[in-house]
Amino acid sequence: MDWWRRLKKNPLARFGAILLLIFYIAVIAADFIAPYDPYASQPNGSLLPPTKIYWASQSGQFIGPHIYPTTQGDTNLDTGDRQLIVDFKKPSPLRLFVSGAEYRLFQLSLPLPPTWDEATILPGIPLNWHLFGTTDEAKFNLLGTDDQGRDQLSRLLYGGRISMFIGIFGVAISFPLGLLVGGISGYFGGWIDSIIMRLAEVLMTFPSIYLLVTLGAVLPPGLSSTQRFLLIVVITSVIGWAGLARVIRGQVLSIKEREFVQASRAMGGNPIYIIVRHVLPQTATYVIISATLAVPSFIGAEAILSLIGLGIQQPDPSWGNMLSLASNASILVLQPWLIWPPTVLIILTVLAFNLLGDGLRDALDPRSLRR
């Protein structure tokens, strides 16, 4: 386990791994951590800035962390600023582990076409406890609210489920396909190798962004936003195996001449069995590193498609469609809290995957392993 010790000694890789662990735990436990329903609108609560936390009452007496009910007032037509109406007569204390909207923990559902009923795989555990919140009527919007009065933090946590897992879903489709096709091409060679590699070269000539935009535009309109994007990821994953297959093919060309492969072949081993059992495992180092570095590309694809309106659609949250408000210049100036949180999360997630991938590449380098 020398590679594991080297990986743990790499501070940047350790930072990336810890950051990803925190993000994945947060989005998996979004039902518990999020204070509110991400689809619920607050009365007179659109475009509220992050809620201000008070520690002392209006008379100056320390009463602990609390907030006051806040709503939007009239808009200044000259500056565009909105007046905030704060009811200082109703302090609401902030508490951990408060009751709120009911949810089902660990519920897993399979999205189906809109004409079918939704099939629940795991029913989940009914709960109404949330990590933090208030005990009175005031709403604690840690990151403010959007133009529909929905809590931004809750939508970020729920939207992270799409943005964080879409990369893993895409890699789980494209990498096994690229491994198998590249292994077959390199092992058999000849006309099989020529046909597969020419097909791979044709697929690699497609510009990915234009392909994604075209696919998003031609999909059936009756699909839900989640089904729509999952279908795009499946299609692009099936097409995106070409680059990996070419690299695996080059590695297999050298691996198939080694003694253990020749011995298995001499003993009458089935070619597919030899490829899967003996050849492809030798490429595991490259595959692990490539998979880690490939996940950010799927996260970026989700952000781009949702940003231009072809991915996850409102009211379903995702980091990409939350960024779509950046097209409005007034939002950037007057309500920056709507833009910065999803932007920072996307940047940190991509950075964390790249740091972890670089750390794995250094730790699994065969030259360092020999040393």
pLDDT by residue (tens digit) across 42-94? 888 888 889 999 998 888 888 889 888 888 876 665 655 677 888 888 888 99
* CA nearest to 291, candidates 171, 136, 182: 171
Please check the confidence at residue 369 and state whether its pLDDT lies above 60.
no
What is the reported pLDDT for 365?
66
Please check the confidence at residue 14 and state whether its pLDDT lies above 60.
yes
pLDDT-derived band of residue 118, with 50, 70 and 90 as boundaries? very low
Cα separation, 131 vs 63, whole angstroms: 21
Strand partners, 151: 145
What is the reported pLDDT for 77?
57
Residue 36 or 220, more confident: 36
What is the reported pLDDT for 299?
82
**Which tokens go with 285?**
């180092």
Which helix (H) or strand (E) element contains residue 239?
helix 225-239
What is the reported pLDDT for 292?
85
What is the reported pLDDT for 250?
86
Cα–Cα separations (whole angstroms), residue 53 to 142, 242, 318, 346: 9, 53, 27, 27
Please check the confidence at residue 194 and state whether its pLDDT lies above 80.
yes
Residue 228 or 288, more confident: 288
Cα separation, 238 vs 220, whole angstroms: 19
What is the reported pLDDT for 156?
92
Q: What's the average model confidence in pLDDT over 155-169?
A: 87
Query: How many other C-beta atoms can be found within 10 angstroms of the C-beta atom of residue 249?
Result: 22
What is the reported pLDDT for 155?
92
- For residue 135, how many C-alpha atoms fall within 13 Å in the half-sphere facing its CB? 8
Whole-prediction pTM: 0.82
